[in-house]
């Protein structure tokens, strides 16, 4: 056979990822740009909240300016039903989900990769056990499992996020397993073994780092969107962050009675924050997926 160019695993993945970004469509770049902006604002606001660099005292009540609209006096986004600054409370609301969300994502990625590698690399009985675990998680609605855990233990955000992480792991495991099966089909893993590489090198360097990192990054961004939705939902239900500590969920809940009387804003502002954030992380995941995993054909 003349002139056979043998590509290594590394070359294939590096090449495809670089060129994928260059040839990405306009819409996908727009998605990623918007999502990255949202992620940047979330991280920045988290730091501002952690450092307590806030426009107002989050608990200071201005009884002269209750339920003020945006741009009233020094209140950029107005105030809630107790006259507390909404912007400050929105910024602080990020504290409620940011670190817990990262914890959930870390658990999901670590457990998901572990299970995926076990199922794909070893196959056989391990694969069957992982499949059973996946089906087990899929058989239970996530919120039902969370309520069960809340009934057993105290409602605590980190307990809930551990459940979120564990219930997200099977999705990631399935994807990692799919990647490995694809690599096996193209004899990459067989070649790596023939080259005398040790299993840890093959698994961590060649499988997870070179071939799964885009996938894991995408799942991490989608995981943050999930964490926002779960945290706000549980805070709304009264099982998450409690007043007066702000969470976007308990802010909507607290404003709901006033909303029904026609004061829409103090409930709507956190709802818009949820919308922009969740949409941002979803579009970021979507855009990255289209660019690096090549779902869009055009």
Question: Which residues here bind another protein, judged by CB under 8 A?
Answer: 27, 132, 135-136, 138-145, 147-153, 155, 225, 229, 232-233, 236-239, 248-249, 252-253, 256, 259-262, 264, 267-268, 270-271, 274-275, 278-279, 282-283, 295, 297-298
Closest approach of Cβ 91 to another protein, in Å? 18
- Which structure tokens are listed for 25? 């469509």
Separation of alpha carbons 172 and 116, rounded Å:
7
Closest approach of Cβ 220 to another protein, in Å? 18
Query: Is the CB of 10 or the CB of 138 nearer to another protein?
Result: 138
Query: Is the CB of 126 or the CB of 233 nearer to another protein?
Result: 233
Rounded to the nearest angstrom, the gap between the alpha carbon of residue 262 and the centroid of all alpha carbons in its chain is 34
Closest approach of Cβ 114 to another protein, in Å? 19
Report DSSP letters for 68-91, one per residue.
Answer: --TTBTTBTT-B-TTS-BHHHHHH
**Residues written for the chain:** 298
Strand partners, 75: 72
**CB contact at 8 A, 31 and 284:** yes
Closest approach of Cβ 288 to another protein, in Å? 15
Query: Is the CB of 207 or the CB of 234 nearer to another protein?
Result: 234
Closest approach of Cβ 270 to another protein, in Å? 8
Separation of alpha carbons 87 and 68, rounded Å:
12
Query: Is the CB of 136 or the CB of 195 nearer to another protein?
Result: 136
Closest approach of Cβ 293 to another protein, in Å? 12
- Which structure tokens are listed for 201? 């090198």
Query: Is the CB of 60 or the CB of 128 nearer to another protein?
Result: 128
Rounded to the nearest angstrom, the gap between the alpha carbon of residue 289 and the centroid of all alpha carbons in its chain is 14
Query: Is the CB of 203 or the CB of 234 nearer to another protein?
Result: 234
**CB contact at 8 A, 230 and 160:** yes
Cα 72 to Cα 65, 263, 264: the distances in Å are 8, 15, 16
């Amino acid at each position: 056979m003349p002139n056979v160019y043998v590509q290594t695993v590394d070359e294939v993945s590096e090449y495809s990822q670089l060129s994928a970004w260059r040839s990405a469509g306009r819409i996908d770049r727009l998605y990623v740009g918007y999502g990255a902006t949202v992620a940047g604002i979330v991280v920045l606001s988290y730091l501002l909240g952690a450092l307590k660099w806030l426009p107002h005292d989050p608990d200071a009540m201005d009884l002269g300016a209750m339920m003020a609209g945006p741009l009233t006096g020094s209140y950029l986004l107005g105030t809630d039903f107790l006259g507390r600054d909404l912007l400050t409370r929105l910024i602080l609301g990020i504290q409620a989900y940011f670190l817990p969300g990262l914890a959930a994502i870390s658990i999901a990625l670590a457990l998901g990769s572990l299970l995926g590698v076990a199922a794909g690399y070893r196959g056989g009985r391990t694969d069957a056990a992982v499949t059973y675990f996946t089906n087990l998680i899929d058989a239970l609605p996530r919120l039902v499992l969370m309520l069960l855990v809340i009934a057993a233990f105290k409602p605590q955000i980190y307990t809930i996020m551990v459940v979120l992480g564990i219930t997200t792991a099977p999705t990631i495991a399935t994807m990692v397993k799919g990647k490995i099966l694809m690599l096996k089909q193209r004899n990459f893993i067989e070649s790596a073994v023939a080259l005398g590489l040790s299993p840890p090198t093959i698994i961590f360097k060649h499988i997870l780092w070179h071939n799964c990192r885009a996938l894991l990054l995408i799942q991490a961004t989608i995981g943050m969107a999930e964490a926002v939705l779960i945290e706000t939902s549980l805070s709304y239900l009264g099982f998450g962050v409690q007043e007066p500590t702000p969470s976007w969920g308990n802010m909507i809940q607290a404003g709901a009675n006033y909303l029904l009387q026609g004061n829409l804003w103090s409930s709507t502002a956190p709802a818009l924050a949820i919308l922009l954030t969740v949409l941002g992380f979803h579009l970021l995941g979507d855009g990255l997926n289209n660019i690096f995993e090549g779902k869009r054909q055009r």
